[in-house]
Structure 1
């Protein structure tokens, strides 16, 4: 192989210009997280991946990686991505761009990784104001002479990174629009003699498409960030995204035809037909031994399957999201809990049965500090609105919730998808001026993912005082053992299984159930069988506006229920149409009228008692 590269200072290092080969091969992959094989989750691991790559060694491919390796994964939670340095070096990468998850453990850690890897990392459009260099000590661009082809490479991220990266101060980063930066760098690369320009991108697909529409001088776009295998064609150009998690990669054959270049793409799926690479297995054995002892510890037992698929947690209420948020709320004694769906990882349905440490770390691989803040009803509605603002993108900002119920219309304009008059907190319609106790992540409290309503809220319990989210879940299982008398020490000191502040809403209702909607008054409502079947508006309203005696047995019963890991989808979040919203408002009005009429005899009885 004849190759040379441009050095960090911009000077060109290489041999005399060689004849341009008529055909070259590129091997591309992106977004890899779990290095070990996990057959039950159909994850083949890095060892088989390297063997599959070796099948194409005779074609001497240029290996390009489009970001996201250091996190999240169970192993990286303990190693801060150290195992990935070893793996990426063994894979023979020639150039990579940063992904957003490269920053999960902070700049110092990333810069150490940059130094330890044997290939350059690029990030062209973000500059650290403290150093006046590309963020994370990346390179702005890279030039490599590959078999006579002088190839220029740039690496591009998107503005949404800065909204989401908890370890980065966005005020100290100069962000340049990826289109503008690409159009600035392409002429520079052409002036340096590049005859082929590749953009390594870590963008969502709509942003890739915008880049393709607005930068005609880039020859090929090799992307990441999205986890599906995608070939996008616009204006005779190609953006390729090569899957995720060592499950697949792409072989691109570039053929020089007169003055043009044709691109053929072959998708390679990695499976058990590829034997594990011994060198990778040996390199990872140390990390696996360290983890194995801890990962198999059984925390508890799941009585039902837990839905942690990205397509679920980023689009709808899930039983796993309910469980985690319930734990957050109970552990901190708050009125409600909000958790951005991007925190929940694993992208799988967790089977019924033993729930182990490794299951918890798969679901919550990142260190997630919690915080309790004081928030107004208006802020709650704004937060829910932001959570569904990018609903059609399966965004990580979609919220899993506890203590709050709401409906939304995903087809309504952004900013008006959540009807504020139908939002309920602690089984009561929210008062926009009232203040509530909210548990969320420090990540959201800082205003990440456009949750701009949080940073100015009063902090009631800061991140130093609040437990980590994974710790809350582990403590929940310990509390179950204590409640069931299985702990070594008999004690009443344990994390709450049932929210203390919620006990005033554990209501004892009588057996009388009024005819809510007489057919003569509202016949079309009597047969409504859509989202309202799950929306407990009337029953909840009757309970929350009436005064009932708190029953201790009800608290104990709920705690017994909480001892079983069997969360359900309750109707906390409902996707509805405008017509359903209209009918819910009618329900609310009629229910309020009923409760007022019900209160009149009670008020008369109380007045008589007072007179006596």
Structure 2
């Protein structure tokens, strides 16, 4: 078994990769963006028998060199790990084996200080000089926006390919008008090699793809394009992959006809390739640590044999006679010289130390986060400002003292533009809930804020964590309107901030400046700054049971449901006072009103309720019918098929159900809205005639909101 090392951690997919053994449980793609059913992908490492040094080929038909994933960096020119040395090894292989292709895998153009300063052009110039053969899109290639990426595609002397990055206006590949292709076919030593690419499916949520660039499901995209590639003559099909390696393995498992997948969004580095069905996969990390070489003996329309070798720049560059690629080195040195002059200008100074570590911005209020948010609020004259913590990163701590342009670009490397929106207090509340919803995983959505003070409890359920919000010292009015300064990435729903999409724009990104300029100008104007942590974001360990005096003894789910529905104005105290009265029986009319309010339904949307006595006590069967009809209205009602019918098998009284109502029971049981009542022997019952209490109704409505 070969070892795998993580070059850079990149979220859940990276964690999943770390557990990879010979049997890999992974989560499949779903068309709605969620997870599909799990499958067990069998991946067999090819092992040391194929190591190049011990396994010579009778002939080498063609060679594949991979991959890039440079994040807009040139690397350190004084150390082995830099772009000139990377291309030096690649082009040394090409000189020895002219039947070679060098394949990139995206995330090359952004985002670094040098790529932000020169808008991604340095990497394109280096790739042109080094004669890269093909590249694909990664999420960071969109960090400067789709228009700039399209310009860079046009400036490239090599093709860009993608099977699933699409312009929804044309249905064709993104940047097709600039020369990008869905796939290309290169004839190498008599073999027609087809090459396409895949971008990670969550890219629209984590970068700036704009309103027209969309990402197709990778499995479905490959199932469509492989036959097209074969029809065009491809004999050997390669996927330049910017998927996380667990997701690439799913593609190999579910799509026939792919011969080789290289590249990994999650940046895991494996010593050797692996094989799933008839597909080889090899993941070698990112940036400049490793470069992969695979040699193929291709005979009679198929691979007869292959070997491979992984180069480590730290050791291979030190070997006698090695030389960096001179053309790429000239590009690197030229841009580095320009950058030094451009960025070493002092713009101000700080009296306090600034922690600009990426991890710090994702878990708590920081001084640099307050500075950035204050600069945004000041520039736009907004009521409040919010910046996603993932947009601030430098992996170092700025000491008290001078600040240069380079420091600011280092801290804010993304080309994000400042916008100003008109939002409601409820939108702001929901945005803060989103911001603290994934704090456990260190997600970039954690909010750094200005003009906002809020308290949250990370032990509570995501979506019901925010306990108190003030805007400039006054209690948040969820019905009032506020102006907010955000970056375009957040305004367009990035990092889960969907609540801002469609808001009235008071200053759009075409008029707003880039974030790093806003912050740089703010510092330059003040001359000396002293930002500090002020208590804008506070963490509470208290459960919110004290908001109602009669919640003691309720389950944790019940307390969360009751408090969340109160905060959202859906279901409050039974008497308008301090008691929720959880055991009070629910009336039909009361539940109907709550249901309509929770789903924003019109009276005509739930006509079935009008046939019931509004003043009668609500039974579980009546609640089930109303929930089922409501699911249909919001297009969340599942099909009642054989699989759904099995959801009733666990209930001892399923045979006693009214046949006319059975489909409704299937729907609510299958979606998990109603989970039955258990007796002392652990048997579950649906109990259709039982009267529903307020706490039971609150739990069901909260589950419905989560489902929605």
Aligned counterparts of 1:83 and 1:359: Cα–Cα separation in 2: 20
Q: Deviations over 1:160-182 (max 9, x none)?
A: 33445546323xx5653211111
- Larger displacement relative to structure 2 (257-266 or 59-68): 257-266
Match of 1:222 among 247, 258, 262: 262
Look up the match of 1:469: 515
Aligned counterparts of 1:229 and 1:443: Cα–Cα separation in 2: 30
Matched, 1:29 2:70: no
Match of 1:245 among 280, 283, 287: 287
Q: TM-score, normalised by structure 2?
A: 0.58
Instruction: Report deviation, 1:88.
Output: 0.4
Please say if residues 163 and 221 of structure 2, whose CA atoms lie closer than 8 Å, have aligned partners that are also in contact. yes
Look up the match of 1:50: 87
Aligned counterparts of 1:453 and 1:333: Cα–Cα separation in 2: 22
Q: Deviations over 1:65-111 (max 9, x none)?
A: 00122332333334322222221023232221122343445555444
Relative distance call for 1:204 and 1:306 in structure 2 (3 A) is: farther
Please say if residues 21 and 147 of structure 1, whose CA atoms lie closer than 8 Å, have aligned partners that are also in contact. no
Aligned counterparts of 1:573 and 1:281: Cα–Cα separation in 2: 49
Look up the match of 2:691: none
Relative distance call for 1:441 and 1:187 in structure 2 (3 A) is: same
Matched, 1:336 2:378: no
* RMSD of aligned Cα (Å): 3.9
Aligned counterparts of 1:471 and 1:107: Cα–Cα separation in 2: 20
Please say if residues 245 and 283 of structure 2, whose CA atoms lie closer than 8 Å, have aligned partners that are also in contact. no
Matched, 1:184 2:228: no
Please say if residues 25 and 59 of structure 1, whose CA atoms lie closer than 8 Å, have aligned partners that are also in contact. yes
Match of 2:116 among 66, 77, 93: 77
Please say if residues 391 and 410 of structure 1, whose CA atoms lie closer than 8 Å, have aligned partners that are also in contact. no
Relative distance call for 1:328 and 1:20 in structure 2 (3 A) is: farther
Match of 2:239 among 199, 207, 210: 199
Any residues of structure 2 matched to 1:292-311 within 5 Å, and which? Answer: 292-303=340-351, 305-311=353-359
Relative distance call for 1:428 and 1:263 in structure 2 (3 A) is: farther
Relative distance call for 1:322 and 1:28 in structure 2 (3 A) is: farther
Aligned counterparts of 1:398 and 1:282: Cα–Cα separation in 2: 40
Please say if residues 20 and 148 of structure 1, whose CA atoms lie closer than 8 Å, have aligned partners that are also in contact. no
SS in 2 for 1:70: coil
Any residues of structure 2 matched to 1:23-422 within 5 Å, and which? Answer: 24-38=62-76, 44-54=81-91, 56-57=93-94, 58-59=96-97, 61-105=100-144, 109-137=148-176, 138-147=180-189, 149-163=191-205, 166=208, 168-170=210-212, 173=213, 175-192=215-232, 194-205=234-245, 207-229=247-269, 235=276, 239-254=281-296, 264=308, 266-270=310-314, 273=318, 276-303=324-351, 305-314=353-362, 316-350=364-398, 353-389=401-437, 395-402=443-450, 403-409=452-458, 412=461, 416-422=462-468
Query: How many residues are matched?
Result: 479
Relative distance call for 1:429 and 1:260 in structure 2 (3 A) is: farther
Relative distance call for 1:45 and 1:319 in structure 2 (3 A) is: farther
Please say if residues 389 and 448 of structure 2, whose CA atoms lie closer than 8 Å, have aligned partners that are also in contact. yes
Match of 1:443 among 486, 489, 504: 489
Relative distance call for 1:351 and 1:214 in structure 2 (3 A) is: farther
Instruction: Report deviation, 1:186.
Output: 2.1
Aligned counterparts of 1:133 and 1:386: Cα–Cα separation in 2: 33
Please say if residues 307 and 349 of structure 1, whose CA atoms lie closer than 8 Å, have aligned partners that are also in contact. yes
Aligned counterparts of 2:270 and 2:353: Cα–Cα separation in 1: 30
Look up the match of 1:508: none
Aligned counterparts of 1:453 and 1:465: Cα–Cα separation in 2: 22
Instruction: Report deviation, 1:477.
Output: 2.0
Instruction: Report deviation, 1:345.
Output: 4.3
Aligned counterparts of 1:260 and 1:391: Cα–Cα separation in 2: 50
Relative distance call for 1:64 and 1:304 in structure 2 (3 A) is: farther
Relative distance call for 1:132 and 1:454 in structure 2 (3 A) is: closer
Relative distance call for 1:327 and 1:230 in structure 2 (3 A) is: farther
Q: TM-score, normalised by structure 1?
A: 0.67
Please say if residues 152 and 194 of structure 1, whose CA atoms lie closer than 8 Å, have aligned partners that are also in contact. yes
Flag structure 1 segments of 5+ consecutive residues without an equivalent.
1-18, 485-562, 590-612
Look up the match of 2:18: none
